[in-house]
Amino acid sequence: MNDFGWINIDITVFNYFILAFAFTVMLSYIVLAIVSAFSLKHYLRVNRLIPYKSLLAFQDAPRISILAPAYNEGFTIRENVLSLLSIQYNNFDVIVINDGSKDDSIAILVDAFELIPSDEVYVASIPTKQVKNVYISTNPTFSKLIVIDKENGGKADALNAGINFSKNPYVVCIDVDCIIEKDVLLKLSKPFLEATNKRIIATGGVVRIANSCIVKSGKLIKVNVPKNLIARIQVLEYLRAFVLGRMAWAKLDGLLLISGAFGMFDKEIILKVGGYNTNTVGEDMELVVRMRRYMIENKFPYTLKFIPDPLCWTEAPESYEILGKQRSRWTRGTMETLWIHRKMFFNPRYKILGMISYPYWLFYEYLAPIIELTGLLISLLMVYYGILSWSFFGLLSLFVYTFALFFSVLAIFTEEATFKKYESKKDIFKLVWAALLEPFIFHPFLIYAALKGNWQKIKGSHSWGDMTRKGFEKKPE
């Protein structure tokens, strides 16, 4: 054994570990994609023939409150609320929660919707920051609108205030700036109506990227591939995550996350578990995990559903600065949720959640960036000691690159085979171009943002980070 013998052995062991990790990650992606494909095919076959509008004739349709927390959204809030009020459904109301905005959001709402303070008493079943006022409209056109004005407490706190005020058994939690399809509630509520043996505690939906799409009166008129490359890459990312990932997790009954931007919940269960956790920035994932734990621990038969239709469109960050803040927050949210629910780790009591979903999130979502960085550092160490096999390293990199490309093209193909939202061939080529560049210009930054999230968590940061929105492209009148 030469002077570097011990290094050689350690590095060889680590190389095999990295290789095994990479293979299992890829294998898991492929397995999930296969499960998704079958699940999507089944969903589309069944739902192609569903007359969703039938629900409009049903007086007993599930009563739903749409909860839309808003913080400094004055620029777009009027249009966004109008969009929410125009959703096709019988039994719903829209509760906008102004979470202590520093801008003139509340004045804009009062003026635009002819709001006056309501006499209704606010009962804080879930403790929240102080509610200053509750408004209702004097105009019957806006009779479905309720506005809660409260002190700033964060998104989770705002949602809890909305849950407290809601009189309906179901709540749909959305981001106020999302563009929602008009039939969203018809599609989200159907699983609740079909439930027989198991209680449906939540329905999640797909979130898509709306950058460069044309929006008129809060309605998506034309879907375009984003002009901005960072946003365009996120189209691929969201397609992979929602269509090839979460669809499969839902099928396997292992779904741990329903996006905070868009999900429907059984309010009774939310209240039973104490509402959103205000001490985490990953409140969406944490709530779903807590609700599932509650049902399992109490031996209540239940399930979650996932709707693959593109029903919610959101604006993605177009700069590395905003993207970095968002992704480091997501990392902190994941860390916090996994830590709070560490009891589930490989715990057979929680079945697939404990045995597969939780370890998957821990190893392949949370730890993956750390392992990637370690792999990179080891490679640099090998270069330093002159023991790196460049041909092997090159081939391995090419292998990872071709896999990433393959998986993105698979996501584009799946979109084309299912919902066909991007209309021209040019759009497909634009997305493929983004897929070719992603491993070089996007993925390394995500690793950096995730590591930054870890560092921020260690330092004790609890901030959300501002998301500066550019606004959607408007169709000319």
Partner 1 sequence: MVKSFYYSFLELELEFQIILVFIGFFGFGSIFLLVFTLIKRQSKLNKIVLKEEYTLLIENSIFPFVFDDDEEAVQMLLKNPNYKKKYFKKIAIKYCINLHKSYTGHMQDKVDEFYKKSGLVDYSRNKLKSSFWEHKIEAIRDLSTLKDFESIAQIEKLVQHRDKKIATESILALIKLRGISELVLLRNFKYNLDEWSQVLILSVIKSDKISYNSKIEDLKTSKNKSIQLLSSRIVEFYKLNL
Contacts 24+ apart (CB under 8 A), 125-128: 125/163, 125/164, 125/271, 125/275, 126/160, 126/163, 126/164, 126/271, 126/274, 126/275, 126/276, 127/160, 128/153, 128/157, 128/160, 128/161, 128/164
Contact predicate 345/358, CB 8 Å? yes
Number of residues in contact with partner 1, rule: CB under 8 A?
40
CB nearer to partner 1: give 363 or 433. 433
The minimum distance between CB 12 and partner 1, in angstroms, equals: 12
Largest CA distance in the chain: 86
CB nearer to partner 1: give 345 or 407. 407
The minimum distance between CB 17 and partner 1, in angstroms, equals: 15
CA–chain centroid gap for 206, Å, is 8
- Report the alpha-carbon distance of residue 402 to residue 396 in Å, rounded: 10
The window from 65-73, 163-171, 284-292, 404-412 that contacts partner 1 (CB under 8 A) reads 404-412
Site for partner 1 in 339-378 (CB under 8 A): none
Under the criterion CB under 8 A, does residue 190 sit at the interface with partner 1? yes
The minimum distance between CB 400 and partner 1, in angstroms, equals: 10
Site for partner 1 in 56-75 (CB under 8 A): 56-61
Under the criterion CB under 8 A, does residue 54 sit at the interface with partner 1? yes
Site for partner 1 in 281-340 (CB under 8 A): none
**Cα–Cα–Cα angle for 292, 296, 302, rounded to 5 degrees:** 70
CB nearer to partner 1: give 45 or 299. 45
Under the criterion CB under 8 A, does residue 428 sit at the interface with partner 1? yes
Under the criterion CB under 8 A, does residue 20 sit at the interface with partner 1? no
Under the criterion CB under 8 A, does residue 395 sit at the interface with partner 1? yes
Under the criterion CB under 8 A, does residue 386 sit at the interface with partner 1? no
Buried b (16+ CB within 10 A) or exposed e, 389-400: eeeeeeebeeeb
Take residue 147 and report the two structure tokens written for it. 């506005």
- Torsion angle in degrees (nearest 10) through CA of 289, 290, 293, 298: -150
- Report the alpha-carbon distance of residue 294 to residue 429 in Å, rounded: 46
Q: How many CA atoms lie within 13 A of 67 on its CB side?
A: 27
The minimum distance between CB 415 and partner 1, in angstroms, equals: 9
**Cα–Cα–Cα angle for 423, 173, 35, rounded to 5 degrees:** 55
The minimum distance between CB 23 and partner 1, in angstroms, equals: 9
Q: Residue 203 — φ and ψ, nearest 5°?
A: -130, 125
CB nearer to partner 1: give 175 or 266. 266
Under the criterion CB under 8 A, does residue 194 sit at the interface with partner 1? yes
The window from 110-118, 268-276, 322-330, 417-425 that contacts partner 1 (CB under 8 A) reads 417-425
Residues that bind partner 1 (CB under 8 A): 45-46, 48-49, 51, 53-61, 190, 192-196, 391-392, 395-396, 398-399, 402-403, 405-406, 409-410, 412-413, 416-417, 420, 425, 428, 432
